[in-house]
Amino acid sequence: MKLIVKNVKKNFEKKEVLKDLNFTFKQGKIYGLLGRNGAGKTTFFNCLNEDLRIDNGEFYIEEENKQRKLDADDIGYVLSTPSVPEFLTGREFLKFFIDINKNKIKNEKTIDEYFEFMKIEKEDRDKLLKDYSHGMKNKMQMLVNIIANPNILLLDEPLTSFDVVVAEEMKQMLKSIKKDHIIIFSTHIMELALDLCDEIVILNNGLLEEIDKNNLDNNEIKEKIIKALKEDSNV
């Protein structure tokens, strides 16, 4: 499976944010999407998720040499600021989500098995979501997106609210599920991208540019990334 981005443009009044994006994302990889503040990373995600209408171009899925348009069920989107129903407990939220998505969920597990997978402690499972920390809410948001099992998982700065131990757990979890998905991971932390991601993609001056990691050590890759980001005239 591939996600094809073809000639995608997005303007806000006279400002070109996404100029002419062309890229192919492949299943089984975690892509680190890097860019300076204001480069358009969240705009790109919002266009993919159809929260914003693009001005030109298209997104489509290619499977077994057949092409089709993106469907809403193809996309899972974990926002940088988690949005959860705070009047429900963690268990109630999961039960509600599973009930309304029963026809879409493959290999359904028990609620407690999902909690175990996301390493949410027993004492937290029946607390109101309003009493969860920012990091815990982010865990719940990530969990329901994983349960939905989308082809494409968009992660907008998802690990910044976690402590070191939990962030490491989340990195291992993402690596364990990547074979069945296309994961695009937006971050401004270069070391995190190098540690977690299979491919590094720069959103630079309104264009997507892949950083070739072959035969380079981490310091050389960092130098290439910094050089590309310095050339971003959108900032």
End-to-end Cα spacing for the chain:
34
Q: What is the pLDDT of residues 74-105, one digit of tens each?
A: 999 998 888 899 999 999 999 999 999 988 88
Going by their DSSP bridges, the two strands 199-204 and 56-63 should be labelled as: unpaired
Domains and CATH numbers, the chain: 2-82+151-230 (3.40.50.300)
202, 209 in Cβ contact below 8 A?
yes
Predicted TM-score (pTM) of this structure: 0.89
The token duo for 128 is: 């109101």
For residues 50 and 41, give the distance between their C-alpha atoms in angstroms, rounded to a whole number.
14
For residues 181 and 193, give the distance between their C-alpha atoms in angstroms, rounded to a whole number.
17
More confident: 37 or 56: 56
Mean pLDDT, residues 68-76 taken together: 91
Burial track 139-152 (b if 16+ CB lie within 10 A, e otherwise) = bbbbbbbbbbbbbb
DSSP secondary structure, 144-184, as one string:
HHHHH--SEEEEESTTTTS-HHHHHHHHHHHHHHGGGSEEE
Cite the beta strand spans of the chain per DSSP E: 2-12, 15-26, 29-34, 56-63, 66-69, 75-78, 152-156, 182-187, 199-204, 207-211
Q: What is the pLDDT of residues 146-157, one digit of tens each?
A: 999 999 999 998
pLDDT band at 214 (very low <50, low <70, confident <90, very high): confident
